[in-house]
Structure 1
Amino acid sequence: MTVPYSMVLQPGATLGMLGGGQLGRMFCHAAQSLGYKVVVLEPSSASPAGSVAEQEVVAAYDDENGLAVMLQHTQAVTTEFENVPAASLKFLSHTARVSPSAAAVAVVQDRIAEKAFIASQGIPVAPYAEVRTVADLEQADETLFPAILKAARLGYDGKGQARVKSRVEAIEAFKSFGEVACVLEKMLPLKQEVSVVMARGFDGSTATFPLGVNTHINGILSSSVVGIEAIDPAIEEAAKNAAVKIATGLNYFGVMCVEFFILEDDHLVANEIAPRPHNSGHYTMNACLSSQFEQQARVLAGMPLGSTELLAPTIMLNILGDSWFAHGDQAQEPDWASVLALPGVHLHLYGKAEARKGRKMGHVNIVNKDPALVLQYARQVSDILHLGAKI
């Protein structure tokens, strides 16, 4: 029998996490700080999350025997990435409370379904075309170019995406992707890329975190700036309302991030949904009364949502494995001491065994009441770690 969504799991209970990466690791820390234990299911042993959880089940995400072992330890399960098989979430939901649901995740796992859903909620998206065959590209409206061709499934951090100036380039990119289903999305004149991280409890209550202004390098998030850059309050409110509308329309419970584009004419366009805590929400760990990971644990346990109040301006900087190779091909430990010598700097490393170029290894949150000092220290951190952040 499934645990009722109205039932509160008290501290001391065990919460389940599908996925052993850094988001799962930070969930473990937040849940444990509230007094919960965590069981992690992950295909590889000694994962970042599995190494800090009370229990680690080493099994494929679609291994029903492994999932059954997980269910021996927990009554409530969440995820740390969107590509967990929806069938696994459905299997777990027969006997455990699952957040988010298989139905909600299934929509977000497919960019075609995701775009159609967002548009169905009356929220603007970039003009796009569904692409399943070369013929779809041959017939695509010429006004869509230049565009970005995005694989409908399994793309992240810029993977499975190609900028295309023409129909010919789009067809070449489509073939290079193996002719998998794609979305052809018109490139728009962007002023800013922003995101809203929010939580929705099983009782329908919602809480939104302050808007983050994001910068990417090579398709990977480089920085999120909060409380420093001037954002029209009406735009921020519209983005928050749109995120809540999306979560409500999906009947979504848990933590979600919605990425938006602010166009040069100040129009707001939804880009994509992440059904989990998000890289751009890592600043909440040091700059808000409750972090996105604490919210995830609160929702899963049936506890009230925490306050999302911003305590001070902040900048989050991603640390990639490139920082280990700033001085050559031999990996060399970055100068953490110089980073931690700066006031208001908080270092979060993910416990990954090997640094590789392009691999997310950690992040730094720089928090200070004075926005000018946040920018100053963030630039110093970027220089020390060779991040190349554009701030």
Structure 2
Amino acid sequence: MTATPHPGRVGILGGGQLARMLALAGAPLGLRFLVLDSAEEACAAQLVPQLRADYDDAAALAEFAASVDVATFDFENVPAAAAEWLAGRIPVHPGPRALAVAQDRLAEKSLFRELGIPVPAFEAVDSREALDAALARVGAPAILKTRRFGYDGKGQFRLRSAADADAAWAALGGPSAALILEGFVRFDRELSVVAVRARDGEFRAWPLSQNWHEDGILAATLAPAPAGAEIEALALGHARRLADALDYVGVFALELFQCGDALLANEMAPRVHNSGHWTIEGAETSQFENHLRAVLGLPLGDTRARGHACMLNWIGALPDRQPVLAEAGGHWHDYGKSARAGRKVGHATLRADDLEALADALERVGRALGRQPQVAPVIACLRGG
């Protein structure tokens, strides 16, 4: 008897580096890909076919749906209406509800609160008067954010006191403003859970990651994060509750602020995530492969770490790759993008079997590339500083 093959044509809405890495992970599984993206130079299109069109182009969506067996996302700003339309014709994972929640910071924070996941104080803001009222309830300092389309520090304004309200409103407000004011969190560190949930509800998570940012953009990730069993269990419990509530299928990330023994949810990403890039070389199964396994209904892979890993983001332009490749555990990822300020153009991952060896490698790479400020906090963490 000949076994019925699993569907092997995966459609990705979005053609950036995440789609590119999904395609690289899917090639050994015999999968084929099609990306839908309006960009002229989508970097995933260097590896797989691209359907160049807007996400609300009905004809393009119909062609896309007819060409693939399942659809997923490269980023969360795909119009929810497009995802809903596709879901009526082919399986779409994660589902449109998860996408819609993650697109709206107010809906996201409200869901966290409903599920008993602690969050910073927050209030909806849709007028200048509402901003004053929200500040009176939340207090200052606080951060005013757009409810939609903000990422990597964009669409945000920090208010140090109520006196900054006029400037904040001038920066982000307007007649149709849809904003959220969040209390400023003085956290000890930022952690993230990268997890995967299968179609049948099976849930797995990689070890916690600890993250460092520069100018609102992820600069470095260390995994596994040095965390006790209680913190790990608390974080995974929050992620599991969220995934089950959304009937989620695929990989997602939950970003958390640690404040003492408490964890506050910052936001979720309904897709493979920057803080999980270390899993390509640092885990038994990468986030990209497990996402594909989940959306196709294949068995999930093991999420255990292989020793210790640190991912370094390259923003704006790529540095010299030689110092990274000179390391026994050095791995280089070029996204095939042109240089541009604030743009993620690649990353490197250093992996080692013990903490001291990873710290030594980071020290050498940081010195060779002039990136000591980027690696210094990670080295301090590894050495117990």
Check the 8 A contact 1:193/1:259 in 2, yes or no. Answer: yes
Q: Please tell me the residue identity of whatever aligns with 2:251.
A: V
What does the per-residue CA deviation read over 1:239-298, in whole Å, with 9 as the maximum and x for residues that have no partner? Answer: 0110110111112111110000001x3211111010001100000000101000001110
Q: What's the Cα RMSD here?
A: 1.6
Structure 1 counterpart of 2:214: 217
Distance 1:48 1:385, change over 3 A: farther
Which sits farther off after the overlay, 36-45 or 8-17? 8-17
Structure 2 counterpart of 1:320: 315
1:107 is displaced (CA, Å) by 1.0
Check the 8 A contact 1:14/1:73 in 2, yes or no. Answer: yes
Structure 2 counterpart of 1:300: 295
**Alignment partners' CA distance in 1, 2:356 and 2:4:** 43
**Alignment partners' CA distance in 2, 1:85 and 1:165:** 34
Structure 1 counterpart of 2:152: 157
Structure 2 counterpart of 1:266: 261
Tell me the TM-score normalized by structure 2: 0.92
Structure 2 counterpart of 1:120: 114
Distance 1:200 1:379, change over 3 A: same
1:60 is displaced (CA, Å) by 0.7
Q: Please tell me the residue identity of whatever aligns with 1:93.
A: A
Q: Please tell me the residue identity of whatever aligns with 1:273.
A: M
Check the 8 A contact 2:252/2:269 in 1, yes or no. Answer: yes
Distance 1:383 1:69, change over 3 A: farther
1:357 is displaced (CA, Å) by 2.1
- The yes-or-no answer on 1:231 pairing with 2:210 is no
1:11 is displaced (CA, Å) by 5.7
Distance 1:379 1:171, change over 3 A: farther
Check the 8 A contact 1:9/1:302 in 2, yes or no. Answer: no
Structure 2 counterpart of 1:28: 23
Provide the secondary structure at the position in 1 that maps to 2:43: coil
Structure 2 counterpart of 1:329: none
Structure 2 counterpart of 1:148: 143
- The yes-or-no answer on 1:98 pairing with 2:95 is no
Q: Please tell me the residue identity of whatever aligns with 1:350.
A: Y
1:311 is displaced (CA, Å) by 1.1
- The yes-or-no answer on 1:241 pairing with 2:237 is yes
Q: Please tell me the residue identity of whatever aligns with 1:30.
A: A
**Alignment partners' CA distance in 1, 2:68 and 2:218:** 33
Tell me the TM-score normalized by structure 1: 0.91
Superposition pairs of residues 340-359 of structure 1, within 5 angstroms:
340-352=325-337, 354-359=338-343
Structure 2 counterpart of 1:88: 82
1:385 is displaced (CA, Å) by 3.4
Identical aligned pairs, as a percentage? 39
Check the 8 A contact 1:127/1:144 in 2, yes or no. Answer: no
Q: Comparing both structures, which one devotes a greater share of its residues to helix? A: 2
1:150 is displaced (CA, Å) by 1.3
Structure 2 counterpart of 1:133: 127
Structure 1 counterpart of 2:248: 252
1:236 is displaced (CA, Å) by 1.1
Q: Please tell me the residue identity of whatever aligns with 1:240.
A: L
**Alignment partners' CA distance in 1, 2:369 and 2:316:** 10
Q: Please tell me the residue identity of whatever aligns with 1:287.
A: G
1:184 is displaced (CA, Å) by 1.0
Structure 2 counterpart of 1:72: 66
**Alignment partners' CA distance in 1, 2:46 and 2:6:** 21
Provide the secondary structure at the position in 2 that maps to 1:84: coil
Check the 8 A contact 2:327/2:361 in 1, yes or no. Answer: yes
Q: Please tell me the residue identity of whatever aligns with 2:89.
A: T
1:48 is displaced (CA, Å) by 1.2
Structure 1 counterpart of 2:279: 284
**Alignment partners' CA distance in 2, 1:288 and 1:262:** 24
Distance 1:287 1:172, change over 3 A: same
Provide the secondary structure at the position in 1 that maps to 2:194: strand
Structure 1 counterpart of 2:368: 384
Check the 8 A contact 1:320/1:357 in 2, yes or no. Answer: yes
> Mind listing any 5+ residue stretches in structure 1 that lack a counterpart?
1-7, 324-333
Q: Please tell me the residue identity of whatever aligns with 1:167.
A: A
1:32 is displaced (CA, Å) by 1.4
Structure 1 counterpart of 2:320: 335
- The yes-or-no answer on 1:111 pairing with 2:102 is no
Check the 8 A contact 1:255/1:277 in 2, yes or no. Answer: yes
Q: Alignment length, in residue pairs?
A: 370
What does the per-residue CA deviation read over 1:167-192, in whole Å, with 9 as the maximum and x for residues that have no partner? Answer: 23133212211432111111122111
Provide the secondary structure at the position in 1 that maps to 2:21: helix
1:142 is displaced (CA, Å) by 5.3
- The yes-or-no answer on 1:197 pairing with 2:194 is yes
Which sits farther off after the overlay, 213-222 or 265-274? 265-274
Provide the secondary structure at the position in 2 that maps to 1:49: helix
Q: Please tell me the residue identity of whatever aligns with 1:205.
A: E
